[in-house]
């Protein structure tokens, strides 16, 4: 009897041991698979990738909006768009956060849970993300690359969501800081969030979510340092080419700098602030680009407030033209309803790296007119900018050219035709309006002055014929 009980106990203990080992083996296997994938990808030379357009040579497309259709169809939908966008002059597409978030198939990705689940693990109520499967994401990226487009990943590093409750010795309460993702990659506990044994907090907490502590070596290693880090996996395995960092007010600029310096790739931060000097400070500290919220707010003041003199005000592109990513609207901002095409005429003729919003391009505005402005940006808009005139209704600026003739842009926010004498880059030269809004083809005087015109609530862009 004792022998039988001993045998039963031995078998039960062996079952528990091997069951535990199997789970650990599965996690190890997941991580080994990641390294195998990554080493294979590195051998294929995916970073850097040849044949892609130079980021900043064209225009970025924000390839989503808030609450795009759920159901796992978005990656496949975009796959049908990228060839047309490339032909129009787009050089990069910015995708929404691609990994599994707390709300699973309903999430827009800004509540990240498992950075290594791109729609392949059954967790958070779904296998696919809102946008589709990992296979569909990789297919989209491959199609974009074959059309010369860079692919920008939206990265949420400030906060995480979806962890289980654990008793937190630093708060004396239960906190949702126990993260054990199905990928087996980047488990997290109370020690990896604020407060912890390193410090109480960093720059900012978002929405009450668990706030990652980037000063922890473990967190840095998983996010960007290690061979199987989030950054290296996104770039070398999935195929992303650059980064849009979400809510960078929530952590210090050195985080973006360290990430970028470790893995490379174009980097732009969402530092939501209308002060151009503050944006310039952040871009300098992070050694990255920043979205030009100062430009966004001044355009909103100008076109919604019917005062184009606001375009004289300080903006990031005026301080740091190579570090400014300009935009008219995005998935988070209020709309510029009046004069939105005028705002696009502004950013697509001025310095900075302009972004076009998916719904503006595909649904709300005149695609032909936007394509015309993209062509103008890519072919005529070079050199520094000189503002020639501004009042409540009219704005005229000159791009002085360095690899082409440059241009004159004339924006009219009034209800009637306007005409104005302006000083151009060209002496005794025939010029024309490249938008087709004016049929004039005037000849500049020997002193480079010429009269140009613009229709009501419209714009013209002039250059050498």
Calpha distance 236→38 (Å, rounded): 6
Q: Are 360 and 333 in contact (CB under 8 A)?
A: no
Mean local confidence (pLDDT), 204-212: 88
Contacts of 441 (CB under 8 A, 6+ apart): 430, 431, 432, 465
pLDDT grade for 338, boundaries at 50, 70 and 90: confident
Position 32 pLDDT exceeds 50: no
Catalytic residue among 91, 246, 280, 394: 246
Beta strand pairing call for 385-390 and 150-155: unpaired
How long is the chain? 465
Instruction: Measure the N-to-C terminal CA separation of the chain; round to a whole number of Å.
Output: 103
The pLDDT of residue 195 is 96
Residue 126 pairs in a beta bridge with: 123
Told to judge if 24 belongs to the known catalytic residues of this protein, a careful annotator would answer no
pLDDT at 45: 31
Is 334 assigned a ligand-binding role in the annotation? no
Q: Are strands 266-269 and 159-160 parallel, antiparallel or unpaired?
A: unpaired
Q: Is the pLDDT of residue 14 over 60?
A: no
Strand, helix or coil at 357? Answer: strand
- Looking at the chain, the domain(s) classified CATH 2.60.40.1180 span 386-464
Which range has the worst mean pLDDT, 7-11, 377-381, 456-460? 7-11
Catalytic hit among 270, 273, 307, 314: 270
pLDDT digits over 215-228, tens only?
999 999 999 999 99
Contacts of 340-343 with C-beta under 8 Å, sequence gap 24+, read: 340/303, 340/364, 340/365, 341/365, 341/366, 341/369, 341/458, 341/459, 342/303, 342/411, 342/413, 342/457, 342/458, 342/459, 343/299, 343/303
pLDDT-derived band at 49 (thresholds 50, 70, 90) equals confident
154 phi and psi, to 5 degrees?
A: -85, 115
User: For the chain, what is the mean pLDDT?
Assistant: 91
Task: State the pLDDT at residue 275.
Answer: 98
- The Cα–Cα gap between 107 and 66 comes to 10
Tell me if residue 246 is catalytic: yes
**What average pLDDT does range 109-135 have in this prediction?**
98
**pLDDT category of residue 255 using cuts at 50, 70 and 90:** very high
Q: Is residue 13 over pLDDT 50?
A: no
Query: What percent of the chain lies above the pLDDT cut of 90?
Result: 86
CB-neighbour burial class of residue 367 (10 A; exposed 0-12, middle 13-18, buried 19+): middle
Any idea which fold 51-382 has?
TIM Barrel (3.20.20)
pLDDT tens-digit readout, 61-83:
999 999 999 999 999 999 999 99
CATH 3.20.20.80 domain position(s) in the chain: 51-382
CA 370 to CA 334: how far, in whole Å? Answer: 20
Dihedral sign, Cα of residue 310, residue 316, residue 322, residue 324: negative
Of 307, 462, 310, 325, nearest in space to 399 by CA: 462
The answer on whether 158 is annotated among ligand-binding residues is yes
- How far, CA to CA in Å, does 81 sit from each of 118, 143, 147, 337? 21, 10, 11, 25
Q: Catalogue the long-range contacts made by 172-180 (C-beta closer than 8 Å, 24 or more residues apart).
A: 175/210, 176/210, 177/210, 179/113
C-beta neighbour count of 365 within 10 angstroms: 17
Q: Which residues of 117-126 are buried (b: 16+ CB within 10 A; e: fewer)?
A: bbbbbebbeb
* Mean pLDDT value of segment 190-208: 90
User: pLDDT (tens digit, 9 = 90+) per residue, 148-188?
Assistant: 999 999 999 999 999 999 999 999 999 999 999 999 999 99
Residues 270-328: tens digit of each pLDDT: 999 999 999 999 999 999 999 999 999 999 999 999 999 999 999 999 999 999 999 99
The reported pLDDT for the residue numbered 11 is: 39
Q: Which CATH architecture has domain 386-464?
A: Sandwich (2.60)
How far is CA 424 from each of CA 115, 237, 407, 428, 436, rounded to the nearest angstrom?
52, 50, 8, 10, 19
Give me the DSSP letters along 108-174.
-SSSEEETT-SS-S-BTTBSS-SS--HHHHHHHHHHHHHTT-EEEEEE--SEE--PEEEEETTTTEE
Q: Is the pLDDT of residue 256 over 50?
A: yes
Is 400 labelled a binding residue? Answer: no
**Tokens representing residue 317 in the block:** 């592109």
* Location of structure tokens 């130079």: 54
Q: What is the pLDDT of residue 48?
A: 56
């Amino acid at each position: 009897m004792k022998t039988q009980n001993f045998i039963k106990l031995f078998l039960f203990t062996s079952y528990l041991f091997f069951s535990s080992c199997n789970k650990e083996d599965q996690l190890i296997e997941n991580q080994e698979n990641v390294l195998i994938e990554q080493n294979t990808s590195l051998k294929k030379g995916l970073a850097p990738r040849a044949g892609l357009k130079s980021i900043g040579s064209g225009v970025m497309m924000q390839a989503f909006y808030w609450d795009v259709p759920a159901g796992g169809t978005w990656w496949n939908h975009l796959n049908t768009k990228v060839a047309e966008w490339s032909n129009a002059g787009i050089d990069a597409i910015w995708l929404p956060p691609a990994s599994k978030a707390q709300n699973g198939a309903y999430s827009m990705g800004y509540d990240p849970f498992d950075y290594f689940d791109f729609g392949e693990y059954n967790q958070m109520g779904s296998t696919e993300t809102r946008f589709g499967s990992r296979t569909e994401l990789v297919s989209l990226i491959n199609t974009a690359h074959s059309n010369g487009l860079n692919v920008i990943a939206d990265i949420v590093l400030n906060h995480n969501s979806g962890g289980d409750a654990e008793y937190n010795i630093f708060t004396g309460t239960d906190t949702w800081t126990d993260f054990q993702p199905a990928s087996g990659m980047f488990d997290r506990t109370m020690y990896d969030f604020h407060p912890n044994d390193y410090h109480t907090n960093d720059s900012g907490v978002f929405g009450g979510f668990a706030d990652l502590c980037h000063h922890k070596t473990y967190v840095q290693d998983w996010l960007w340092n290690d061979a199987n880090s989030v950054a290296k996996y996104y770039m070398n395995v999935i195929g992303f080419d650059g980064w849009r960092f979400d809510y960078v007010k929530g952590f210090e600029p050195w985080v973006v700098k360290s990430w970028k310096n470790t893995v490379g790739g174009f980097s732009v931060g969402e530092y939501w602030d209308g002060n151009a000097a503050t944006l310039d400070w952040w871009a300098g500290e992070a050694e990255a680009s920043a979205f030009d919220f100062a430009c966004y707010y001044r355009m909103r003041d100008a076109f919604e407030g019917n005062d184009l003199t606001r375009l004289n005000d300080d903006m990031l592109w005026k301080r740091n033209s190579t570090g400014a990513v300009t935009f008219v609207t995005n998935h988070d901002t209020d709309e510029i309803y009046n004069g939105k095409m005028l705002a696009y005429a502004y950013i697509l003729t001025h310095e900075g790296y302009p972004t076009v919003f998916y719904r503006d391009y595909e649904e709300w505005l005149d695609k032909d007119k936007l394509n015309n402005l993209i062509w103008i940006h890519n072919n005529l808009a070079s050199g520094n900018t000189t503002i020639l005139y501004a009042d409540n209704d009219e704005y005229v600026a000159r791009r002085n050219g360095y690899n082409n003739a440059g241009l004159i842009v004339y924006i009219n926010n009034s209800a009637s035709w306007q005409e104005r004498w302006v000083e151009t880059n060209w002496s005794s030269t025939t010029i024309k309006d490249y938008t087709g809004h004016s049929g004039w083809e005037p000849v500049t005087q020997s002193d480079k002055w010429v009269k140009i015109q613009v229709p009501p609530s419209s714009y013209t862009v002039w250059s050498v014929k």
